Amino acid sequence: MSDPSLRLDHVLTFTLAERVETSLERYRSAGFLVSDHIAEWDPGLRNGFINLWPEYLELLCVDDSDRFRTEASDTLKQAAAACRPYGLGFYSDDTVAIHDRWTRLGLEVPPPEMLRLAATPESAPPDFCEMEAPSLEGAECFVLTSYFPNAAMRRFMQVAPNTVFGLGGLTLVADQPHRRSRRWAETLGIDVLSTSDGEASLAFGLHRFRWISPQEYATRFDDQWIPGVSEIAMVHLLAEDPTVAAAMLRLSGWNVDVSRGGIVVAHHSEDGFTFAIEQGLADQWNASRLAVWGETLELQRETL
């Protein structure tokens, strides 16, 4: 079974907007809940958040182009240029313990680092403990523990005005989906793996990872998969009424397709997110989180 102290937490992409607030307003107009908090990170980034509490989507925006050009890693520069989801954050209450467990399994992982936001003084306690997870190939993956003051997002979940309330999982595209999924299963400690021709999937806590081949991607979505900075193709969102979510997204300018037996929100040119919107019930999701992860979350319903 997977370790209940480790779970999928957030998905990262860059936005091409000059200011992250511009992108966040686009999500707000479509009925999503957007955090008021803007995080400043080195080198020269201002990041915003779309709430799927306790999970979220993170938009990275280059605010200081000179600093970013001279100080950012090649990986980060490639992700900024690609404009598609490239990173996954996994949450743990104890990143150091995850490091020790993976090391005992023979995985090569770097030591955890204590990190501070750009505005946090060096004399203050760290905001996060973070560790890269290079064994999870196909995306820039890392594990983190948050010491951020109050950590309000860990105490409640919300149903947005467009009825979206959760992150259901991800679809990724890999040349060998079975091989890729087995590697993730070994690292994450998952003992249930389902496969079929051109597809493999893992149930990781309450989230699901699906891998499909480029050929299967082309068949399902009538589009050619172009390899790039990551294999993340689609983010699956849970909504109490997917038709409401689809309507609000369409009114806000997203290209929404309901012709394939589901609701797919096409790749957006500004941040690269593609969404699949799936039916779910927030009360059941909240109860499942309590059963699987021991979370006691206050359920809130937000309206425009």
- Structure token digits, residue 75: 């990986």
How many other CB atoms are there within 10 angstroms of residue 127's CB atom? 18
Answer for the pair 149, 292: CB distance below 8 angstroms, yes or no: no
Report d(CA 29, CA 82) in Å as an integer: 25
The predicted structure's pLDDT at residue 69: 95
Report d(CA 297, CA 54) in Å as an integer: 9
Domain 156-299 in CATH 3.10.180.10? The answer is yes
- Enumerate the domain spans of the chain: 6-153, 156-299
Query: For each of the chain's 304 residues, which pLDDT tens digit applies?
Result: 345 579 999 999 999 999 999 999 999 999 999 999 898 888 999 999 999 988 999 999 999 999 999 999 999 999 999 989 999 999 998 999 999 999 998 999 999 999 887 778 888 888 889 999 988 999 999 999 988 765 556 788 999 999 999 999 999 999 999 999 999 999 998 865 777 778 999 999 999 999 999 999 998 887 889 888 899 999 999 999 999 999 999 999 999 998 666 899 998 999 999 999 999 999 999 999 999 988 889 999 988 6
- Structure token digits, residue 119: 């505005």
As assigned by CATH, the class of the 6-153 domain is alpha beta
Answer yes or no: same fold for 6-153 and 156-299: yes
Answer for the pair 87, 141: CB distance below 8 angstroms, yes or no: yes
* Backbone φ, ψ for residue 160 (5° rounding): -75, 165
The predicted structure's pLDDT at residue 1: 39
Amino acid identity of residue 225, one-letter, is W
| Strand pairing class (263-265; 207-212) | unpaired
Name which of 229, 17, 37, 28 is nearest 139 in CA terms: 229
Q: Could you tell me where the DSSP H helices lie in 72-142?
A: 74-82, 95-104
